[in-house]
Amino acid sequence: MAEPGEQLPEEVLALIFRYLPLRDRAAAARVCTAWATAATCSAVWHDTNISCDCELKDMLSPCLSACLNHVHNLRLEFEPSRAQSRQAATELLTALAGCVSNPGLRSLRLECHGEKPLFDAGLDVLQAMHAICRASRTLHHLDLRRLPFTLDDALVLQTAHCCPELRSLFLDNRTLVGSVGPESVLELLKACPRLCTLGLHLASLSHTALKALAAPDREPFVLLALRCACPEDARAPTLPDEAWIKLRSRHPGLAVELELEPALPSESVMRILQPSVPVAALRLSLSGDTVGSVRFAACHYAATLRILEGLGPVDGIGTSLGRPVSTQCSQHLQTPAVPTVLRHPPPTPFLCKRSASSKAGAASGGGKAQVQAGLQGECEINPAVALHLVKDGVGSEG
Residue 254 has φ and ψ, to the nearest 5°, of -70, 135
Q: pTM of this prediction? A: 0.76
Alpha helix ranges (H) inside the chain: 10-17, 22-29, 33-39, 42-45, 62-65, 83-97, 123-135, 153-162, 182-191, 207-213, 231-234, 241-250, 266-272, 291-300, 317-333, 356-363, 367-375
* Section 256-266 average pLDDT: 78
Lowest mean pLDDT among 146-155, 322-331, 381-390: 381-390
- Neighbour order of strands in the sheet with 279-285: 47-51, 73-78, 107-112, 141-146, 168-170, 197-201, 223-228, 255-260, 279-285, 307-311
What percent of the chain is modeled with pLDDT above 70? 69
Q: How confident is the model at residue 188 (pLDDT cuts 50, 70, 90)?
A: very high
CA angle 15, 396, 331 (to 5 degrees): 145
Nearest to 58 by CA among 14, 91, 16, 96: 91
Q: How confident is the model at residue 120 (pLDDT cuts 50, 70, 90)?
A: low
For residues 87 and 290, the model is more confident at 87
Is CATH 3.80.10.10 correct for 49-354?
yes
Q: Is residue 47 over pLDDT 90?
A: no
| pLDDT of res. 101 | 54
The pLDDT tens digits for 311-369 are 665 444 444 444 434 444 444 443 333 334 434 333 333 322 233 333 334 333 333 33
Q: Do residues 214 and 242 make contact, with C-beta atoms less than 8 angstroms apart?
A: no
Report how far residue 22's alpha carbon sits from residue 64's, in angstroms, rounded to the nearest whole number. Answer: 8
| pLDDT of res. 315 | 45
Q: Do residues 285 and 260 make contact, with C-beta atoms less than 8 angstroms apart?
A: yes
Report how far residue 394's alpha carbon sits from residue 18's, in angstroms, rounded to the nearest whole number. Answer: 31
Q: Do residues 219 and 164 make contact, with C-beta atoms less than 8 angstroms apart?
A: no
* CA 124 and chain centroid, separation: 23
For residues 204 and 273, the model is more confident at 204
Going from the C-alpha of 263 to that of each of 100, 147, 260, the distances in angstroms are 46, 21, 8
| pLDDT of res. 98 | 81
Q: Is residue 205 over pLDDT 60?
A: yes
CA angle 40, 44, 47 (to 5 degrees): 130
Instruction: List the domain boundaries for the chain.
Output: 49-354
For residues 284 and 251, the model is more confident at 251
Residue 47 has φ and ψ, to the nearest 5°, of -115, 115
**DSSP 8-state class, residue 149:** S
Report how far residue 247's alpha carbon sits from residue 175's, in angstroms, rounded to the nearest whole number. Answer: 28
